[in-house]
Amino acid sequence: MKSQRPVNLDLRTIKVPITAVTSFLHRVSGIIVFLGLGIMLFALSKSLGSEEGFADVKDYLTSPLAKFVAWGLLSALLYHMIAGVRHLIMDMGVGETLEGGRLGSKIIVALSLVAFVLAGVWIW
């Protein structure tokens, strides 16, 4: 079967709409939250196991790398929550148009950036 459609393989020229970017990031943040939950549950289990385990986890969480990882996990959780609220609002019939979707995506990005900065200030 011969297709007459043009094929564009240059990814630099493809314009991805903001709604697609926010949808993709919502899925990625869900995966990060799911994987990060295992890390945090392991740390919780170790810290509740003994006094030495608690001291180990406390020492580990004071390192800059652990703070960065905690900030990343918290940022993913905040983004996923904000985008999830948007999906709930859209399920009620608000913002289902193309322009409403674009506006909702812009609001998600703005709120998420503010939340990321506040989370960073809180952790550090």
One-letter amino acid of 61? L
Which among 42, 112, 40, 103 has a CA at the least distance from the CA of 81? 112
One-letter amino acid of 65? L
Question: What are the structure tokens assigned to 68, written together?
Answer: 């960065």
- 80 labeled binding residue: yes
Question: What are the structure tokens assigned to 121, written together?
Answer: 């200030």
Q: Which residues contact 116 (CB under 8 A, 6 or more apart)?
A: 75, 78, 79
For residue 92, the 8-state DSSP code is T
What size, in residues, is the chain? 124
From the annotation, which residues make up the binding site? 80
From the annotation, which residues make up the binding site for heme? 80
